[in-house]
Amino acid sequence: MNILVTGGAGFIGSNFLNLYVPTYTKNNFINLDKLTYAANPENLNTLENSSNYCFEHADITNYDQLVQLFEIHKPDLVIHFAAESHVDRSIHGPSEFIQSNIIGTFNLLEACRRFWPERKNNKLFLHVSTDEVYGSLGAEGYFTENTAYDPSSPYSASKASSDHLVRAYHRTYGLPALITNCSNNYGPYQFPEKLIPLMILNALAGNPLPVYGKGENVRDWLYVEDHCRALWTVAEKGIPGETYNIGGNNEKRNVDIVNQICEVIAEETGRDPQQLKSLITFVQDRPGHDLRYAIDASKIKKKLGWQPKEDFAGGLQKTIHWYLNNRDWVERIQSGSYKNWIETNYGNRKNS
């Protein structure tokens, strides 16, 4: 089987390819990635000599490029990770989000429709999406697959839009497509603009730990490899046309996560936990900041038999070890365009 993975040089895509290319040697994996600021081909170094892996530098907003690559690689399964993924960036500049997340997904769907003209069951489009499409919860309740869409940020609105297109292509053209909506991931290779790696690296450097608002917003955290295993399970056993919510049943307030990160770093490096915690700085809140996300993952558990393997304490420790042991990776990222972007956009954040 030929598996086209879009966005495979990003955080979740890299973890997915590193997990499955060496295991499923009879499948060919094609990684199609534009290599934006969030990508790092270095994440995939160990796969370079694998005969069942190849990289294609391409942009999903370019339909002609997609057609060429479909002609060459004849994919049977498309796993669509490629997207602009950071909420704060979408607030500062939504345009790329509209292009890559909406137009890019539309182009991929069009390519599938062109190359998979019959309603064949041996082809599959797996669209990797987020729980943020459902908007914000109050103190109670969970997102199920039937929760109405109510996105708050340009990022989540662009993902919601792409989900609607995927569902429409299934209903209208019979495209064999599946959608997964997953909660916040954490783990190795995550770009240090997202909460957990940002706080780990700032704490290690002795820099302020900028918590938005009062730090009371809640996310449901899932270790990235558990998400990857869920995706593989959905690709193998999911029913086309269905949606599966994926989550860790692991709700945490942001301020509690940051405190926990300080405690683990103190344990691992011999520093004073109170001194690390004193770096916590409450800053101006994110506009449109969703209060709480919480996933009801009972459908994927009951119907497909998936459940997470990692608990939060173990996953966080592994993640902190990874960042401690990969200082060169961090160094290269911090010296690049990421740093310029952070300086331009976050340089003058006001304290709350």
Q: How far is the CB of 159 from ligand NAD (least distance, A)?
A: 5
Please tell me the distance from the alpha carbon of residue 281 to that of residue 188, in angstroms, as a whole number. Answer: 25
Of 3, 11, 18, 178, the one binding ligand NAD (CB under 6 A) is 11
Q: Which residues of 235-249 are buried (b: 16+ CB within 10 A; e: fewer)?
A: beebebebbbbbbbb
- Under the criterion CB under 6 A, does residue 194 sit at the interface with ligand TYD? yes
Residues 283-342 that bind ligand TYD (CB under 6 A): 286
For position 159 contacting ligand NAD by CB under 6 A, the verdict is yes
CA distance to 38, 331, 346, per residue, from 340 (Å): 13, 14, 10
Min separation Cβ 88 and ligand TYD, Å: 6
**CA 43/CA 333 separation, integer angstroms:** 12
Contact call for residue 9 and ligand NAD (CB under 6 A): yes
Euclidean distance between CA atoms 341 and 333, whole angstroms? 12
Let me know the angle formed at the C-alpha of 155 by 154 and 161, rounded to the nearest 5 degrees: 85
Active site residue 118: no
Which residues on adjacent β-strands are paired with residue 79? Answer: 5, 126
CB 128 within 8 A of CB 182: yes
Residue 128 binds what, of ligand NAD, ligand TYD, none (CB under 5 to 8 Å, by partner type)? ligand NAD
Please identify, among the stretches 32-40, 285-293, 307-315, 334-342, the one whose residues bind ligand NAD according to the rule CB under 6 A. 32-40
State yes or no: is 290 an active-site residue. Answer: no
> Restricting to residues 172-211, which ones interact with ligand NAD according to CB under 6 A?
182, 184-185, 191
Catalytic site includes residue 131? yes
Least Å distance, CB 110 to ligand TYD, is 28
* Cα-based distances in Å from 93 to 86, 134, 173, 191, 287: 11, 22, 33, 18, 13
Contact 206, 271 (CB under 8 A): no
Q: Which stretch binds ligand TYD (CB under 6 A): 23-31, 209-217, 294-302, 321-329?
A: 209-217
Binding to ligand NAD, residues 324-343 (CB under 6 A): none
Interaction between residue 217 and ligand TYD (CB under 6 A): yes
**Minimal distance in Å, beta carbon 192 to ligand TYD?**
9
Q: Which residues pair with 32 in a beta bridge?
A: 6, 56
Q: How far apart are CA 337 and CA 349, in angstroms?
A: 19
Candidates 20, 53, 142, 155; catalytic one:
155
Cα torsion angle, 206, 318, 3, 102, sign: negative
User: Could you give the CA distance from residue 203 to residue 267 in angstroms, rounded to a whole number?
Assistant: 13
Residue 140 CB, nearest approach to ligand NAD (Å): 23
Check binding of 158 to ligand TYD (CB under 6 A). Answer: no
> What residue ranges bind ligand TYD (CB under 6 A)?
87, 184, 194-195, 198, 210-212, 217, 219, 254, 286
Q: Which residues are catalytic?
A: 131-132, 155
> What residue ranges bind ligand NAD (CB under 6 A)?
6-7, 9-13, 33-36, 38-39, 59-61, 81-85, 100, 104, 128-130, 159, 182, 184-185, 191
